[in-house]
Amino acid sequence: MQTLTGKNILLGISGGIAAYKCAELTRRLMERGAEVHIVMTEAAKEFITPLTMQAISGHPVAESLLDPRAEASMSHIELAKWADMVLLAPATADLIARVAAGMGNDLVSTAVLATDAPVVVAPAMNQQMYQNIATQENIATLSRRGMHIWGPDAGEQACGDVGPGRMLQPMDLVERCEAFFQPEATSDLLKGKSLLLTAGPTREALDPVRYITNHSSGKMGYALAQTAAEMGANVTLVSGPVAIEAPAGVSIINVDTAQQMHQEVMSRTTDADIFIGCAAVADYRPEMVSEQKMKKADDSDTLTITMVKNPDIIASVSALKTDRPFTVGFAAETQNVEQYALSKLERKNLDMICANDVSVGGQGFNSDDNALTLYWRDGKKNLPLDSKLALSREILVAVSERLETRD
Ligand code: PMT
């Protein structure tokens, strides 16, 4: 979706390890229609070259404040005036301090002084540097002056420390740019609607220490939950065991097995306007769960486990005679994707199905990206490879359009 068409973004890169992510950030912004020019600090060039950023953005990258070649193309003052947004990513402690002090001793800080466009700061630094009182006061100063502070994220850092200071992922920044420029476009799209959804894998026990499961990480379902909450929906997420944090503003119910997931979902359908089955639910479970750890048999090289069918959660939801929510399924296929997805749409009586080819690397299970085709009774929409967050937005826009025609 060309959500950033006509938007001019001046990306100011400073010298932190996260600078390497600016290639991806620029590409993703441009995919959405933004025009991106780059300015870099001297230190940034140690992490990613101006030539790389020039090749990706399609525009010359100024090497210094007085670079005759770049100034002939568009002077740094003209660039600051051209921008609809100045995005400082990564913004190191040093850059933040210089901007807070009002300095203009390099291209990036000069751009901030010379622009009247909104300035967004995406901090990235060591967690101790981030938590230092000087940095905190500088960030508070920028915020007080009306600059937007996006992030940082917390977690393991390149230096080995753990804590706050990681730059937001490129797609998180892109999503925020989209929401910044078009807050009205989707922020209320699901206002007043209740969304019930499932995510992650299920675990089917064999004995107290072993279980059968699959590769679902929960990323797709959690991205949907986060996006729906940002669009104003009241979101309840029934989640299998995953290693990711619950998105803000989402009610979460944790389960292990398909039977538990079935029970938790079915007790909540009455209030749901929309149900999305994104979980990779085990179709079968072991018939017998051994009370004690199963022992290896000396007299046999094989083990036979009898499996019995689990309830089909989404089929149960779509079969409801009263209060049936608009029901959206996923189809995880490794071959004949369209054929199998359409047959699930029909057989499970769904309103929409999101088909993904999980045999392709870099998408599907446990990846940050995915590629999907949405099918409904009389239409389809192809969503090429993109982040799960960006795809979630497109899925939910398509759902809300179909919901309107049904209402
Ligand atoms: O979690 P990630 O790592 O981000 O990966 C995302 C994903 C690949 C898991 C996701 O995109 C996806 O495809 N989810 C559905 C996986 C799946 O189980 O597909 P299926 O084709 O087997 O099932 C079809 C539909 O029936 C699904 O909506 C599923 O939730 C539902 N189902 C299946 C079996 C069952 N007993 N009950 C169900 O509700």
Distances (CA, A) of 14 to 40, 46, 111, 163, 293: 6, 10, 13, 21, 55
Tokens 């486990």 correspond to 305
Any ligand 1 atom below 6 A from CB of 313: yes
Burial 166-186 (b: 16+ CB within 10 A, else e): bbbbbbbbbbbbbbbbeeeeb
Percent helix, strand, coil in the chain, to 5, is 35, 25, 40
CA distance 357 to 372: 8
Any ligand 1 atom below 6 A from CB of 339: no
CA distance 229 to 141: 30
* Cα atoms in the 13 Å half-sphere on the side-chain side of 78: 8
344 is in an annotated binding site: yes
Cα 361 to the center of its chain, rounded Å: 18
124 is in an annotated binding site: no
351 is in an annotated binding site: no
What SS3 state is found at 14?
coil
Query: Tokens for 178?
Result: 């989209």
Q: Are 195 and 235 in contact (CB under 8 A)?
A: yes
Q: Is it true that 8-183 and 188-406 share their CATH fold?
A: yes
Catalytic option among 22, 159, 177, 354? 159
Any ligand 1 atom below 6 A from CB of 364: yes
Residue owning the nearest CA to atom 29 of ligand 1? 277
Compute, in angstroms, the gap from residue 82 CA to the centroid of ligand 1. Answer: 46
Active site residue 354: no
Among residues 26, 27, 34, 29, which one has the least CA distance to residue 5? 34
Mean pLDDT, the chain cut into blocks of 10 residues (407 residues total): 90 96 97 95 95 95 72 78 97 98 94 95 94 93 87 82 88 88 79 97 98 97 95 96 92 98 98 98 97 94 96 98 97 97 98 95 88 92 79 92 76
Residue 264 CB contacts under 8 Å (≥ 6 apart), including other chains: 238, 253, 255
Q: Which CATH class is domain 8-183?
A: alpha beta
Among residues 35, 79, 32, 26, which one has the least CA distance to residue 56? 26
What SS3 state is found at 16?
coil
Compute, in angstroms, the gap from residue 199 CA to the centroid of ligand 1. Answer: 8
Compute, in angstroms, the gap from residue 221 CA to the centroid of ligand 1. Answer: 10
Among residues 315, 326, 252, 253, which one has the least CA distance to residue 283? 315
279 is in an annotated binding site: yes
Any ligand 1 atom below 6 A from CB of 261: no
Compute, in angstroms, the gap from residue 256 CA to the centroid of ligand 1. Answer: 15
Which homologous superfamily does the CATH classification assign to the domain defined by 188-406?
CoaB-like (3.40.50.10300)
Ligand 1 atom at minimum distance from 223 CA: 4
Residue owning the nearest CA to atom 23 of ligand 1? 331
Tell me, what's the pLDDT at 71? 66
Residue owning the nearest CA to atom 33 of ligand 1? 281
314 is in an annotated binding site: yes
Tell me, what's the pLDDT at 172? 86
Any ligand 1 atom below 6 A from CB of 331: yes
Q: Where are the domains of the chain?
A: 8-183, 188-406
Compute, in angstroms, the gap from residue 314 CA to the centroid of ligand 1. Answer: 10
